[in-house]
Chains A and B, each alone.
Chain A
Amino acid sequence: MSQTNHAVLSLYVANNFGVLTKVAGLFSRRGYNIRSIAASETEAPAFSRITIVTSGSPSHLEQIYRQVLKLEDVRRATFLPLDDLVQRELVLMKLCSGNEQEDLRALTDEFPDIRIMDTSADGCVFIEYTGPTGTVDAVIESARPLGIVEISRTGVTVLEQISAAQA
């Protein structure tokens, strides 16, 4: 079979009614994969940025690119070069092992950027971490033995080192 690549697609879209549905609907009806999707307003109030992590063979990705450009509300679509990205994702985790303080020391030694948040009423601890997807995966793996009860990830948000708007 042909090779499968991860790819980050950044869409600059008009902030119209239902635009996220239109983009997500295109992916689902054509059988394209969405590994994560993040949408938010941008520097211009009339526009949003939708960042989708998808995967597929090069020709598959080419077809995705050509199909999203057919959507009226999509003003710009860019497959971002993976080695030239400012890429961040945020994860929240709830840990309930009973002896958090001891265990957490090892985790914070390994990942100094972890933030430990308030302890909840039932004695559990919340952890926040922001970083590239690969590091988020590593943090989760290291935290797993500490008894993860819940995880919530935001999905990736990215900017190019040299933004398309400047280029």
Chain B
Amino acid sequence: MQLTGAQILIRSLIDQGAELTFGYPGGAVLNIYDALYEMRDKLRHIVSSHEQGAAHAADGYARSTGKTGVVIATSGPGATNLVTGIATAFQDSVPLVAVTGNVSRDLLGRDSFQEVDIVGITNPVVKHNYIVQNVEDLAGIVRDAFVIANSGRKGPVLIDIPKDITAAKTEYRKLPRFELRPMPQPSQEGIAEAATAIRNAKKPLIYAGGGVTFSDNSQALLSFSEHIDAPVCVSMMGLSSVPAGFSRYLGMIGMHGTATANIAATECDLLIAVGARFSDRVAGDRKNFARGATVIHIDIDQAEIYKNVRAGIQLVGNAGDCLSMLSGAVPPVKHTEWMHHILKHKAMNALPDSGGEGQGPSPRELVRGLRSAMGEDGIVVTDVGQHQMITAQYYAFAKPRSFLSSCGLGTMGYGMGAAVGAKCGNPARPVALVTGDGSFHMNMTELAVAVSNNLPIVVLVFNNGVLGMVYQWQNLFYQGRYAYTEIRRKTDMVKLAEAFGAVGMRISSRDEIRPVLEAAFACGRPCVVDCAVDYKEGVFPIIPPGKNGEAMIFSDDLYIDRM
């Protein structure tokens, strides 16, 4: 059958399993949108307010469902607007296929209208990218893009298609659904070496990251932790892979991690990293991180193993495969004394429970209130800043893939788009965005998409009038010189919500948390809840940048008033 490149593109996306795409129309993708319209019964399309929002929506869809996110944008500004979303997905290893239109081949390289070298621009933030030169290659490229995005360590792939290719015709042959490339297998010697290290360890600690969450190996991790009787901590990317109630769980490690997780890292004699990359937010001083410990590093990306921390024992492979091979190589062991010591520390150093001193709702109470309003099934999306860390610390996650956040790139403005994507992919589950007034102002326009598509997302704006995380650093590390962080916008969040066609609510006291959140979830519409939060509320504990657990700061007793 002779079809145009645009028709082949859309059919190929469907052939590779896409059910839903996000994007924004434009000149260079007119043919693609025409083909999308033709196939609208088979492939849903959600139009964003801004291409960045579409990229984050595809990302949120992918993180929450495990499927491949697909986003389409036009050439030039459409393509550049995707870049932050692509970089976000790259840093957090999210499978994404981004399709951009470009000007026709005879106009390429002439600074034509809406022309940009998006392949050159995205090189550092994609697993791979293509500029399609022949319409005959298109179906194969789409399939390869899905293979690359999903194989090994996942990540984004970009396909740039000149407009004349979308119009050119060729024979369409349906290609089979993509298959993953074979996973690397850990060496037998590595497994044996790791097994010996585990047998000899007195104080083992497991440190799990996004590689566990997003390879769906949470269960394997829990079984392994029981098998070798070791406590587990997670990076932010690993959050939700271990249920909060799990007896060996120590919470998050790193800059805003729990005291116990960070102390365990300094005291352990064996650190088993699983699908985690020792980022500077975990190993602030990477040369001295877990310095008393032998390190076993399990990762599917062999380049991670020597990148930040040099592991004594490396296992390159899928987290689940490696963990079950290790369980097979070591008999069940007990570390009674160590577990007792660590769990006692955990009990004595629980994160502070109470709220702040003022009348207003504290961020902690709001997060706990959100958890009870959503139940175990809820999906929580965040933006970036204090609200994000408070959510990471206080929300009791029950199921994997229920925490979506820009952990690596730290993209303020990620949340509203990602929440749209998460709700599209999980219509039956409650979805909430926890954001701050700074982050929300960045991409709040995506709220319009939630309204037009009847997506009942609850948005909690932790509104404190300041760019809280930077403000906190200025308090701690810049002697209270609050340079340009006291934004104090005059935006009326309730009126704003109503103007968008959403519901607006307010929480200004503690008593209102529960009834307002219940009403917000009950209203069945997108709902923005303005939460008046005290600007003096900091995120603690905090480890100053470049340091490890020993340098942890526990409270803001030294709060400095404005200089």
Contact = CB atoms under 8 A, between A and B. Distances in A.
B127 interface: yes
B219 to A, nearest CB: 29
Contact of A72 (B131, B148, B302, B306): B148
Contacts of B305: 66
Contacts of A71: 128
B119 A18 contact: yes
Contacts of A98: none
Interface string B112-141: 000000011001100110110100000000
A25 B124 contact: yes
Nearest to B302: A66
Nearest to A65: B303
Contacts of A63: 303, 306-307
Contact of B123 (A21, A59, A69): A21
Contacts of B303: 63, 66-67, 69-70
Contact of A25 (B123, B133, B301, B310): B123
A48 B123 CA distance: 19
A25 B310 CA distance: 25
A21 B130 CA distance: 13
Contacts of B124: 25, 29
Interface string A17-51: 11001100100010000000000000000000000
Nearest to B316: A66
Contacts of B131: 17-18
A62 interface: yes
A74 B505 CA distance: 54
Interface centre among B119, B301, B306 (most CB of A within 10 A): B306
B197 to A, nearest CB: 20
Contacts of A29: 124
B127 A72 contact: yes
A68 to B, nearest CB: 9
Interface in B353-377: none
Interface in A109-136: none
B301 A70 contact: yes
Nearest to B152: A70
Nearest to A71: B128
Contacts of B127: 70, 72
B90 to A, nearest CB: 12
Contacts of B148: 72
A135 to B, nearest CB: 35
Interface in B472-503: none
Contacts of B310: 59
A25 B121 CA distance: 11
Contacts of B123: 18, 21-22, 25
Given A25-B123, A70-B301, A72-B148, A17 B306 contact: no
A82 B213 CA distance: 43
A69 B152 CA distance: 13
Interface in B289-310: 301-303, 305-307, 310
Interface in B306-339: 306-307, 310
Contacts of A67: 303
A17 B131 CA distance: 8
A25 B129 CA distance: 14
Interface centre among A18, A59, A69 (most CB of B within 10 A): A18
A53 B537 CA distance: 53
B93 to A, nearest CB: 12
A62 B301 CA distance: 14
Interface in A87-121: none
A67 B303 CA distance: 6
A13 B128 CA distance: 14
Contacts of A66: 302-303, 305-306
A17 B307 contact: no
A62 B124 CA distance: 20
B128 to A, nearest CB: 4
13 contacts: A17-B119, A18-B120, A21-B120, A25-B123, A62-B306, A63-B303, A63-B307, A66-B302, A66-B303, A66-B305, A69-B302, A70-B301, A70-B303
Given A21-B123, A25-B124, A70-B303, 10 more contacts: A17-B119, A18-B119, A59-B306, A59-B310, A63-B307, A66-B302, A66-B303, A70-B127, A70-B301, A71-B128
Interface of A: 17-18, 21-22, 25, 29, 59, 62-63, 66-67, 69-73
Interface of B: 119-120, 123-124, 127-128, 130-131, 133, 148, 301-303, 305-307, 310
10 closest A-B pairs by CB: A66-B303, A72-B128, A25-B123, A67-B303, A29-B124, A66-B302, A63-B306, A62-B306, A17-B131, A70-B303
